[in-house]
Structure 1
Amino acid sequence: MKQIILFTAVIFMLGNNGLFAQNKHFTEHGSITFEKTINMFALFQKQITKDNESFLRPAFDSYRKTQKQFKVLKSTLNFDNNRTLFTPIEPETQSNGFFGDSPMANQVNTIYTDLATNTIINQKKVFEETFLVKDSTRKINWKITSETRDIAGYTCRRANALILDSIYVVAFYTDEIPVTGGPEFFNGLPGMILGVALPHENVTWFATKVEDIPIEEKALAAPKKGKAVNNKSLYTTLTSVMKDWGEYAQKYLKAFIM
């Protein structure tokens, strides 16, 4: 009798687990609000070298007294039918002191991604010029871990990777949103990326709100304005423009192509 009761209990539990799995809700379209947070003090500190310390150190000390350590910028990611549109939200005030024009401390990309064809259309602001970059999505070799974290009400799993050969990336994705996209150029995980951290670059993107709502076609419209280029030709243009920028060239170049 005990064996029969135990067997019945197991069957009941398995049945309930299957029912719960069937009833689990998956968000297939909607809009995500992201916050990009930049540690401006760390960004400034990295610019100081033994060659410029005499004038940059006083400037840094003054900056710390008048500016906030963390700059926060908002953006949205609309998604539906394996398409996403990442759009920066312009801040109410543009000034941020010494590094106000740094691409790392701003949002220069408006990115339409077709995950079915692995293509992107990116409207990129480079100082006073706008480029329209059409190319393939970035291929990222992710390593998924067992660590989890709750972001915007979703349980997310951690994954690590390197991009551009040297930039360490930590990402958190949820399989409750079965879309392989994410903020900026981050994609390729088995679910939507809701959090990204670049520890050595002192910048993060984390979702603050996920809305499970229908998305109109115009809310997924790809950007159209800008000088037409691909990633390779844009890189060639940027390296040519910055060839006389000395030690700052690589920092700006990395920020623009990241």
Structure 2
Amino acid sequence: MRNTILIVVLLGSYGLSAQLKGKITYRLEIIKDSIEQPFENKENTDAQNEVFALMHESQPVEGYLIFNDSIAIYNVEPKIDIPGWNNGSDGLIITPSNVNLSWMMAGGSTTYYNDWSRDYSITQNAIMAPAKRVIQKPKEWTITEESKVIDGYTCYAATIDKRNDKKVKAWFTPEIPVKHGPRGFNGLPGLIMEIEDVINLWTIVEMDFDNPEADEIIEPIEGELITQEEYVKFSGNPFGDN
């Protein structure tokens, strides 16, 4: 079965001869049904209850992937009221002032850029001035035997291991043979159509293959270029998420 999937993926990559380009709108929402209610567990700390409250108060947001065959750039819809950040001696401190947790999970103010013609992938993070451009390591996907149809496209599941034995599951379609996806999730032999990331769900809400924004994708050049390890040291983020 695994060989059959790989053959279909390879055939799909030749299905479209014209250059692929356009704009994909993704919707990110936190799935609240399985999340504990704040103050439901008397053993939780105030900080834990605050996080649960933020999850339940979160609202869906949209992110935008502008792409061509090899290059893509991704940003989340603008947000004026963003949380405060303090990179103090005790590490990164977030001031949760009117925080929409979905906006942060979707990528926040970070820009995600990749160019597969030169195996180059970065994030540009300007939350803590000065801006930094962080080199991203390739994703280590495992393509599974699962398949389903999303918006008329045959999709296959691929997974990445996370901390605490969790997995990210992405559904990609070789019928749109580009290696792009939202928030730095990329590298599969087909456009990522959906992502299940523990409590976060990404879905495509619009596909515009004629969008003129794809005619000129500008690479972010502002900020020092550093590795992920250097970014973790700079930000005080123990998880290294960008």
TM over 0.5, shorter chain:
yes
Paired residue for 1:237? 234
Paired residue for 2:147? 147
| Distance apart, 1:110 and its partner CA | 0.8
- Give yes or no for the alignment of 1:212 onto 2:200: no
C-alpha distance in 2, partners of 1:223/1:158? Answer: 31
Structure 1 regions of 5+ residues with no counterpart?
1-20, 240-251
How do 1:162-173 and structure 2 match up within 5 A? 162-163=161-162, 166-173=165-172
Q: Deviations over 1:155-206 (max 9, x none)?
A: 322222214685410101111211011111111211011111111xx11221
C-alpha distance in 2, partners of 1:148/1:141? Answer: 18
Paired residue for 1:221? 218
Residues 170 and 197, structure 1, Cα contact 8 Å, conserved in 2: yes
| Distance apart, 1:253 and its partner CA | 4.0
Residues 119 and 137, structure 1, Cα contact 8 Å, conserved in 2: no
How do 1:176-195 and structure 2 match up within 5 A? 176-195=175-194
Secondary structure of 2:231 counterpart? helix
- Give yes or no for the alignment of 1:107 onto 2:100: no
Paired residue for 2:159? 160
Residues 119 and 134, structure 1, Cα contact 8 Å, conserved in 2: no
Please report the TM-score for the alignment, with normalisation by the length of structure 2. Answer: 0.70
C-alpha distance in 2, partners of 1:206/1:43? Answer: 23
- Give yes or no for the alignment of 1:52 onto 2:45: yes
Q: Deviations over 1:125-156 (max 9, x none)?
A: 43x435332424423232222321314x4332
Residues 138 and 186, structure 1, Cα contact 8 Å, conserved in 2: no
Paired residue for 1:247? none
Pick the structure with more helix per residue. 1
| RMSD value, Cα | 3.8
Tell me which amino acid in the other structure corresponds to 2:241.
I
Paired residue for 1:245? none
Paired residue for 2:29? 37
| Distance apart, 1:25 and its partner CA | 5.4
C-alpha distance in 2, partners of 1:40/1:118? Answer: 37
C-alpha distance in 2, partners of 1:155/1:45? Answer: 39
Structure number, greater radius of gyration: 1
Q: Deviations over 1:24-47 (max 9, x none)?
A: 65771111001111247938859x
Paired residue for 2:67? 79
Secondary structure of 1:50 counterpart? coil
C-alpha distance in 2, partners of 1:211/1:217? Answer: 10
Secondary structure of 1:184 counterpart? helix
Residues 76 and 87, structure 1, Cα contact 8 Å, conserved in 2: yes
C-alpha distance in 2, partners of 1:99/1:92? Answer: 11
Higher alpha-carbon deviation: 171-180 or 113-122: 113-122
Question: Kindly, what percent of the aligned residue pairs are identical?
Answer: 18
| Distance apart, 1:83 and its partner CA | 0.7
Structure 2 regions of 5+ residues with no counterpart?
1-11, 84-95
How do 1:1-16 and structure 2 match up within 5 A? none
C-alpha distance in 1, partners of 2:48/2:68? Answer: 47
| Distance apart, 1:210 and its partner CA | 0.8
Paired residue for 1:117? 118
| Distance apart, 1:99 and its partner CA | 6.7
| Distance apart, 1:238 and its partner CA | 2.2
Secondary structure of 1:71 counterpart? coil
Residues 35 and 205, structure 1, Cα contact 8 Å, conserved in 2: yes
Tell me which amino acid in the other structure corresponds to 1:100.
V
C-alpha distance in 2, partners of 1:120/1:89? Answer: 21
C-alpha distance in 2, partners of 1:99/1:37? Answer: 17
